[in-house]
Structure 1
Amino acid sequence: MAYQALYRVWRPQTFSDVIGQDVITQTLRNAVASQMTSHAYLFSGPRGTGKTSCAKILAKAVNCLNPHDGEPCNECEICKAANENRLNDVIEIDAASNNGVEEIRDIRDKVKYAPTEAKFKVYIIDEVHMLSQGAFNALLKTLEEPPANVMFILATTEPQKIPATIISRTQSFNFRRISRQDILKRMEFILNDKNIKYDEEALNIIAASAEGGMRDALSILDQALSYGDDELTLKNAQEVTGALSNEQIVSYMTAIAENNPAEALTNLYQILASGRSALRFTEMIIRVCRNLILYNSDSDLSSKMDKSVMTDELLAISDKFDNSRLFYIVDQVSATQKNLKNSNQTDIYMEILTVKISEPKIVQQSTAPAATNETSDNQVGSAELDKLRDEVSHLQNEVKDLSTGTVVKKTEPKKTRRRANTNARLNKTAIYKVLGSATKKDLMAAKEIWPDLMSMLSITQRAMMKVAEPVAASSEGVVVAFDYEMWFEQAQDDSEFLKELENNVSRLMKKDSQIVLVPKADWPKIRKEYIDNNIDLNNQGNVESKQEPKKKTDPTVDEAVKLFGDDIVDIKND
């Protein structure tokens, strides 16, 4: 006989065999025993939780010749025929491939005929939400007034897609995800029955990866047994599921605890190079943080820790984390998970996450914002408030006295404080200087040496510069744009790093080159401002200038810009 997958061999044959759905199975068993079954049922819930299995068991139970307390005997001719899929009165339909009106009309026409062998003709319609609107309409009348010897069992993973008129004509049962403990017990029972050696930690990893689905758990177990030649080891389970080894997560979390981003990034690259899933990696970080929070609570909660995750090595570094930092890490990892699901650049997001949660400065800023705000509020006295009011009044009077010729419009600052800080960091003079003699040839030369430059940087610096690239270059310097404003600000504030960057670029390009940084979001605006100041572009997109750009403005406008900043003042010509 050909080999059958574990989930097929161990498919439940009675209600008592179904795992993790006790309320549902007890209700169905009582209905069969008291002969009070409904004409239509709706089984909904996540995949692999027993919907189709319960539907088949119910079809057997209502037709069994010798039922016992609502359970099918599995010994009579009807039960044997149903188990071997040769009972003509139990009709299984896949709505995903039979979702048209004609298929449902065919059912409606055949419903009127009596069953050939059993007492009830049972229609099991799987993935019923895939039916078209016309098919649902065709099914509606039959569900409302079916013949006495017909039963419909509808199964779906997406009940929200089923019309309310259909749901109201059925008894609805919501199958829940199966607990990890129930999945573990079932897998242990199967492995003991087959006399297969197994590692308990390996079973824990498989149960966690199954995400509440028994069929998924048995499929992963089947794959791990095949990989390990009928023996389940921890390493086999980790390889099959993509889970991290204890050594990998301990090394990574130790580097985070010691505020060592370089070491943390090294561990990250090793983990990703081993083929581990970035999403699974983030899930493991959250699980570790959750267990550390329970462990640090000094209460009965510590007994609820996941022993398969919390090794002695992780418990040894638990005192290096306080709960506020663990909450911060969980928040950052959760935010990163959303980006991972919608992006192909998983490595970059993981690098950014690693630096964020491992740098002590960022952690301190995030863990005590309330204290900082409270202190600053207390320091602002009434005298300082009066001084600020006087300054605002003085500035308003100066605006009124501006001469005519151009209209100066003061607008409310809509930009955030972070944007104002970014503008202050921008060195537009240096950018304009590079643009004044920028050529395509110089830009191509800068891009050619970029991989060599990356190899000369440290691991932390390399992670920062991975989200940056040259966007303009001349014989005197290179403009580098950053994808993320946060990295631009961090690089711009690090004078030692900028100096090292300029030295390395000058060495590779064999000439002195100034490095000027800019956020990529601001680059088009800056470039347009330069062009608008009487600067022409040639046909190839290279910037040519015979003299330094001079912005032609009125002295009163210059004074207004000086007072309020160019990001607040909007200049319009009469």
Structure 2
Amino acid sequence: MSYQALYRVWRPQNFIDVVGQEHITKTLQNALLQQKISHAYLFSGPRGTGKTSAAKILAKAVNCEQAPTVEPCNECASCWGITDGSIQDVIEIDAASNNGVDEIRDIRDKVKYAPSAAKYKVYIIDEVHMLSTGAFNALLKTLEEPPKHVIFILATTEPHKIPLTIISRCQRFDFKRITSQAIVGRMELIMKESDLVHDEKALPIIARAAEGGMRDALSLLDQAVSYSEGHLTEEDALTVTGAVGQEMLNQLAEAVLEKNAASALAILEKLLMQGKDPARFAEDFVLYFRDMLLHKTAPNLEESLERVMIDEAFVTVAGKMELERLYEYIHMLNQTQQEMKFSNHARIYLEVALVKLCQPHTKPAASMPEVQQLIGRIQTLEKELQKLRSQPAQPSEQAEAQTAAKRPNRSSRGFKAPVPKIEKVLAEATKQDVQLIKSRWGEMLDFLNQRQMRSQAALLNDAEPVAASKEAFVLKFKYEIHCQMATENKQFMDSISSILQELTENLYQVVCVPEDSWLAIRQNFIKTQKTESTEQDNEQEEDPLIAEALKLVGEELLEIKD
């Protein structure tokens, strides 16, 4: 096939062409210029935001004959070979179909071989979250310490499915959804370079339907151009994306404002007959009122409008609409959207919502006689309250008040250390176990911060593991209040155990103790152990012959020589 889709033809070949990810491209360009290239990268983010494109551009930049440079030249033999796939040193792997241990072992065996035509061997593993647990484990050591001529670039849309041991070995870059303005700007460039004619309102409709993905936007643009007859119009874009035109939304809002339910239902019927999706229509109507709310409260934020273009009809409707009504409409339509998701009759919910919007429920105002009656009752209650306050207190009430004043406030109970659990850990503790936990303690704190548990992790600033067995360890806190807060947070304790299990491959139970209690418990345990040891030694050293002699003559007449 000679024809290629627009998103393939216009795939970025330089960092400057990667739209909406300046925070990532700037960092990579600085690293290239300063020759601080990492051995492993993790690109994560929604679909169609430029992860694989950025990986290929990075592969070209590190192997470019003009390196170090911020952009690949796309003219040298290395850049051309990587672009057309003729150089085998840049290997792109689809982890969705190559997710087994054998495939990763094959990579592990081949990384030691030097590149044949380029300076670096680059492995681009797409959808890396699809790898099996065994495949991740096979990749671990190679990913941490690959040969100097190898770079790994992992791309994924679901980073939460990747083990922390993999993430910690990579430089992570999070790609964000591309704004509608950036998508429109890129599509305008493509339309201009392709000599295609379009209406001004057509491209924003396609950009909104793409939901932040450039590839989705270019696929819809390709479809809309094919549907149009040489000139891409607003109606063509609406038909392809299934969105509702602003003119119809303005008419519907006018009908709702005038409480004309018949007209609103007629417009809805017309839209559904054109094949519009009810769920998509509800979303468009919510965004329409949202943009109207922004237009009324913050007119300067015109760039933040997602659904509407500021035209005369929209301004007229917005001028008649009150803010309280907009709040009510947005809330009601949002509730209708949620109900439509779990129903096979989405149209019915939408029709009911329109009728409610046209007949908003308002509470009847209280009549004047009722208001006067309420005011009279309030005045009567105030007089009775004032009368009760002016009366002297009864003797029993005075005694009760004095008793309450003398009664000391109960202080909160102090933290009670779990002595039996601590003594059990001490009885089974080894030096190797506690050293293993201490060696991984810093990594465990980093993982807690990555999991957005910084406030809880702050409790561990003055805490340290002091004893450990194979199954549990004692965590000493400098302050009793920190110890109590940590113990009462079960989720926090479980997180510590799970992270240490990943780092040490042992599942530990955490036993918390304040520093003062720990010193007393430890000293008492040592003293008890010495006493028991002495008694055991005495029992073991007692000779039966000597015991019998003591019975016969007594201790005064018996002399024992070794």
1:3 aligns with 3
* CA deviation after TM superposition for structure 1 residue 378, in Å: 5.5
Cα-to-partner distance string for 1:190-220 (whole Å, 9 max, x where unaligned): 1111111111100111111111111111111
2:54 aligns with 54
- CA contact 1:96–1:127 (8 Å) conserved in 2: yes
2:344 aligns with 344
2:91 aligns with 91
In the alignment, residue 325 of structure 1 is paired with which amino acid?
R
- CA contact 1:126–1:154 (8 Å) conserved in 2: yes
List aligned pairs for 1:369-518, cutoff 5 A. 381=377
* CA deviation after TM superposition for structure 1 residue 382, in Å: 6.6
Q: Tell me whether 1:186 sits opposite 2:201 in the alignment.
A: no
1:239 aligns with 239
* CA deviation after TM superposition for structure 1 residue 291, in Å: 2.6
Q: How far apart in 2 are the matches of 1:376 and 1:211?
A: 56
* CA deviation after TM superposition for structure 1 residue 312, in Å: 1.7
Q: How far apart in 2 are the matches of 1:165 and 1:384?
A: 72
- CA contact 1:201–1:308 (8 Å) conserved in 2: no
Return closer, same or farther for 1:330/1:378 CA change in 2, 3 Å cut-off: farther
Q: How far apart in 1 are the matches of 2:140 and 2:76?
A: 34
- CA contact 1:197–1:231 (8 Å) conserved in 2: yes
Q: How far apart in 1 are the matches of 2:373 and 2:82?
A: 76
Q: How far apart in 2 are the matches of 1:181 and 1:160?
A: 29
1:199 aligns with 199
Q: How far apart in 1 are the matches of 2:366 and 2:25?
A: 52
- CA contact 2:208–2:307 (8 Å) conserved in 1: no
- CA contact 2:287–2:307 (8 Å) conserved in 1: no
Structure with greater Cα Rg: 2
Q: TM-score, structure 2 length as denominator?
A: 0.64
In the alignment, residue 174 of structure 2 is paired with which amino acid?
N
List aligned pairs for 1:59-458, cutoff 5 A. 59-67=59-67, 69-297=69-297, 300-301=300-301, 305=305, 308-360=308-360, 362=361, 364-365=362-363, 381=377
Return closer, same or farther for 1:166/1:172 CA change in 2, 3 Å cut-off: same
* CA deviation after TM superposition for structure 1 residue 142, in Å: 1.1
- CA contact 1:49–1:214 (8 Å) conserved in 2: yes
Q: TM-score, structure 1 length as denominator?
A: 0.62
* CA deviation after TM superposition for structure 1 residue 302, in Å: 6.5
- After TM superposition, the structure 1 stretch with the greater mean CA deviation from structure 2, 220-229 or 58-67, is 58-67
Return closer, same or farther for 1:240/1:103 CA change in 2, 3 Å cut-off: same
Cα-to-partner distance string for 1:210-242 (whole Å, 9 max, x where unaligned): 111111111111000000134211111010011
Return closer, same or farther for 1:166/1:307 CA change in 2, 3 Å cut-off: closer
CA RMSD in angstroms, aligned pairs only: 2.7
* CA deviation after TM superposition for structure 1 residue 279, in Å: 2.4
* CA deviation after TM superposition for structure 1 residue 379, in Å: 6.3
- CA contact 1:246–1:311 (8 Å) conserved in 2: no
- CA contact 1:287–1:309 (8 Å) conserved in 2: no
- CA contact 1:204–1:308 (8 Å) conserved in 2: no
1:33 aligns with 33
Return closer, same or farther for 1:192/1:105 CA change in 2, 3 Å cut-off: same
Structure 2 residue matching 1:99: 3-state secondary structure: coil
In the alignment, residue 183 of structure 2 is paired with which amino acid?
I
Cα-to-partner distance string for 1:321-352 (whole Å, 9 max, x where unaligned): 21011011111111222233333321122112
Cα-to-partner distance string for 1:256-282 (whole Å, 9 max, x where unaligned): 111122221221121112111222212
In the alignment, residue 27 of structure 1 is paired with which amino acid?
T
- After TM superposition, the structure 1 stretch with the greater mean CA deviation from structure 2, 47-56 or 12-21, is 12-21
In the alignment, residue 238 of structure 2 is paired with which amino acid?
Q
Q: How far apart in 2 are the matches of 1:327 and 1:80?
A: 56
Structure 1 residue matching 2:125: 3-state secondary structure: strand
Cα-to-partner distance string for 1:126-151 (whole Å, 9 max, x where unaligned): 11111111111111111111111111
Structure 2 residue matching 1:344: 3-state secondary structure: coil
In the alignment, residue 145 of structure 1 is paired with which amino acid?
E
List aligned pairs for 1:514-533, cutoff 5 A. none
Return closer, same or farther for 1:225/1:123 CA change in 2, 3 Å cut-off: same
- CA contact 1:125–1:154 (8 Å) conserved in 2: yes
Return closer, same or farther for 1:302/1:16 CA change in 2, 3 Å cut-off: closer
- CA contact 2:121–2:151 (8 Å) conserved in 1: yes
Return closer, same or farther for 1:81/1:135 CA change in 2, 3 Å cut-off: same
Cα-to-partner distance string for 1:281-317 (whole Å, 9 max, x where unaligned): 1222122212322333376456865684343222222
Return closer, same or farther for 1:384/1:9 CA change in 2, 3 Å cut-off: farther
* CA deviation after TM superposition for structure 1 residue 22, in Å: 1.0
Q: How far apart in 1 are the matches of 2:167 and 2:365?
A: 50
- CA contact 2:202–2:237 (8 Å) conserved in 1: yes
Q: How far apart in 1 are the matches of 2:373 and 2:218?
A: 59
2:43 aligns with 43
- CA contact 1:40–1:170 (8 Å) conserved in 2: yes
1:562 aligns with none
* CA deviation after TM superposition for structure 1 residue 28, in Å: 0.8
- CA contact 1:67–1:73 (8 Å) conserved in 2: no
Q: How far apart in 1 are the matches of 2:373 and 2:189?
A: 63
* CA deviation after TM superposition for structure 1 residue 250, in Å: 2.1
Q: How far apart in 2 are the matches of 1:369 and 1:244?
A: 38
Q: How far apart in 2 are the matches of 1:34 and 1:296?
A: 49
In the alignment, residue 170 of structure 2 is paired with which amino acid?
T
* CA deviation after TM superposition for structure 1 residue 376, in Å: 12
Q: How far apart in 2 are the matches of 1:140 and 1:377?
A: 78
Q: How far apart in 2 are the matches of 1:330 and 1:379?
A: 36
Q: How far apart in 2 are the matches of 1:30 and 1:298?
A: 38
- Unmatched segments (≥5 aa) in structure 2: 382-562
Q: How far apart in 1 are the matches of 2:371 and 2:298?
A: 31
- CA contact 1:90–1:121 (8 Å) conserved in 2: yes
* CA deviation after TM superposition for structure 1 residue 100, in Å: 1.4
Structure 1 residue matching 2:231: 3-state secondary structure: coil
